[in-house]
Structure 1
Amino acid sequence: MTATTVHSAPHDDTESAYARACRLIETELGGRRLPPEPRTSLDDLARTRRHKTAFITAVWNTCFPAGVVEACRVVEAVYPYLDPDGLCTDAALTAAWNILEPEAHTWPEQLQDQRRRFTDKCLTRALAEANTAVADHA
């Protein structure tokens, strides 16, 4: 006995092997794919909390705040100024700078520039660590 498969749609070379296998199973068994569960606002809230927690930890480890409370203040100040991809902007750097170096206006300009660049590197590294930590748990 020979079995043949009837294709319900023409073959598409851009279709992945997984998609072709799913289509074949659907055709052979008459099944349907389960749609992904819709995202809810609670999913977004949980992801934001995980990201903020990871970001606080990363700020604590890389930006040398005075304490955990200051690391939390930095994250809360920076968070609204992150770009849509979760990367640091100049406004986010300024928000962090105002908390981490409140007396910077009294320093020489060269020292301010040097410390601001250092803070930018630390904040960028902390964001990268937080983004990676959240992506690993997604």
Structure 2
Amino acid sequence: MTATTAQSAPSDDTESTYARACRLIETELGGRRLAPEPRTWLDDLAHTRRHKTAFITAVWNTCFPSSVAEACWVVEAVYPHLNPDGRCTDAALTAAWNILEPNAGTWPEQLQNERRRFTNNCVTRALAEANTAVADHA
């Protein structure tokens, strides 16, 4: 008995190893792909950069920082405190509060509470916008 390999289409050099293996399995066994190509560390890095850029833009548009640099500082301070699903935690909101309102300790308590709620709403809304922007362009 002789085994032959059916070639469905010529292989091009831009096709990934994963895609070539899937094509061979599809051709030889009549199978189909159940999962997309695995992500690489470079894909994750690109996704993180897109998300941070969208988050900076959203912070700039919704939280009223004093400068774009301050919006960047907010994102860098908040990012390590996001939960695994990319949602705000209390630590993330506190980090944003400390950058956006550095002199809040001198304010009356009622004003601090009002401004903190406002800041929390702004950061939460900015994060939701960033998540949506990245999901829409994935």
TM-score by length of 2: 0.77
The structure whose Rg is larger is 1
Partner of 2:79: 79
Give the number of aligned pairs: 111
Partner of 1:38: 38
Percent identity of equivalent pairs: 81
TM-score by length of 1: 0.77
Deviation at 1:37, TM superposition (A): 1.3
User: 2: CA distance between counterparts of 1:36 and 1:131?
Assistant: 21
| Secondary structure of the corresponding residue to residue 36 of structure 2 | coil
Unaligned runs of 5+ in 1: 1-25
RMSD of the alignment, in Å?
1.5
**AA partner of residue 52 (structure 2):** K
* Deviant stretches of 4+, over 2 Å: 29-32
User: 2: CA distance between counterparts of 1:95 and 1:56?
Assistant: 15
For 1:92-107, what aligned pairs fall within 5 Å after superposition? 92-107=92-107
Unaligned runs of 5+ in 2: 1-25
**Residues 1:40 and 1:95: Cα distance change in structure 2 (over 3 Å):** same
Partner of 1:56: 56
